[in-house]
Amino acid sequence: MKALFDSVSMKCSVLTTKSYSTSFSSGIKFLHSSIGEPIFAIYGFVRFADEIVDSFEGYNKEVLLNDFEKSTFEAIENGISLNPILNSFQYVVNKYNIDKELIDSFLYSMKMDLEQQYYTADKYNKYIYGSAEVVGLMCLHVFTNGDKNLYDQLAPSARKLGAAFQKVNFLRDMKADYKQLGRTYFPNVNFDNFSKEEKFLIEKEIEHDFKEALVGIKKLPIKCRAGVYLAYRYYLSLFFKIKKTCCKTIMNRRIRVTNGQKFIVMLESVIHSKLNLI
C-alpha cells in the first residue's frame, strides 16, 4: 500500500513544480519518462525551502527552515516521510545516492537568506554554489544514474548551468530582492544607482557560465539532453531580453519572456535536438 502513498507524494512534487515554474516544467516534459519524476521531486524540495525564506512573512522562518532541515534528513535516514514533498525527495536521494553535502550546502544558502547581509565575493560564490550549483549536481546524479566517471566529467558544466540560471534570476528579480526583501546578492554593486558598467560586468560573467554549461549539455546522455537544452534555451532567451533592457527598468520591473516567445524557443530546441544541432 505504500506504493499508493509514494504515487500521491510524487504527484504533489509534480503539482508544486507546475504551479511555480512553467519553464522548468516544460523542460522536464522533454526528459525521458524514467527520469522526469525524480527531477520533479528535486524541484519540489528546493521550491519548498525557497518559499520558507521568501514568502512566509509573519511566521518564524528560522524555526520553519530548521524543522524542514531536520525533517529532510530524518526522511532520508528512515526512507519515508509524511510530508509528501520530502517523501518523494528522500526516495530520489536514496535511489541515486545523492551526496548529503549537496543538501547541506543548499540548506545553508537558504539560511543565508534569513538575514539581510552585504555579499562579499566569497559569500556571493558560496551562496551561488549552495542555492544553484548543487541543484544542478543533484539533477546530474539522476542523469548519470551511478556512472561516476560521467558524473565527474560533467559536474563542472552542471555547476555552471546552475550558476547561470541563478544569476539571471538575480537580474530578473532585482526589484523584489532589493526593494522588498532587502537582498543585494551581486558584490560591489551600487543598487541605488545601478550602472551600465556594473550590468555589463555581470552579463559577461553570465555569458561565460552559459558557454561552459553548453559544453556539458552536449555530452549528456540522450535521455536527458533535450530537456536540459530546452531549459538552457529558456534562460538564455530571458538573459538576452535582460541584456537589451536598461538598468533603470531592471530596478523597477521584473523582466519576463512571453508565452509566445517561449513557444518559439521550444520549437527551435526540439528541432535542434532532433537534428543533433545542439
Cell numbers linked to 45: 524540495
pLDDT of 86 over the 90 cut: yes
* Residue 141 pLDDT > 80: yes
Residues in the chain: 278
Mean pLDDT of the chain: 93
Kindly list the structural domains of the chain, giving each domain's residue range(s) and its CATH number in brackets, ordered by start: 2-274 (1.10.600.10)
Type of residue found at 164: A
Higher pLDDT, 126 or 175: 126
Amino acid 27: pLDDT: 82
What share of the chain has pLDDT > 70, as a percent?
Answer: 100
pLDDT digit string, tens, across residues 187-209: 988 888 899 999 999 999 999 99
Q: What is the pLDDT of residues 12-67, one digit of tens each?
A: 999 999 999 877 788 888 998 899 999 999 999 999 999 999 999 999 999 999 99
When pLDDT is cut at 50, 70 and 90, the band that residue 259 belongs to is confident
pLDDT at 198: 93
Q: Is 80 exposed, middle or buried (0-12, 13-18, 19+ CB in 10 A)?
A: middle
pLDDT above 90 for 163: yes
List Cβ neighbours of 201 (8 Å cut-off, separation of 6 or more): none
| pLDDT exceeds cutoff 90 at 176 | no
| Higher pLDDT, residue 106 or 248 | 106
* Residue 145, pLDDT above cutoff 90: yes
Nearest-angstrom CA–CA distance, 227 and 270: 9
Rounded distance, CA 185 to CA 197, Å? Answer: 17
pLDDT band (50, 70, 90) for residue 177: confident
Residues above pLDDT 90, as percent of the chain: 77
Q: How confident is the model at residue 7 (pLDDT cuts 50, 70, 90)?
A: very high
* 183: pLDDT strictly greater than 90: no
Per DSSP, the residues of 54-121 read HH-TTS-HHHHHHHHHHHHHHHHHHT--SSHHHHHHHHHHHHHT--HHHHHHHHHHHHHTTS--B--H
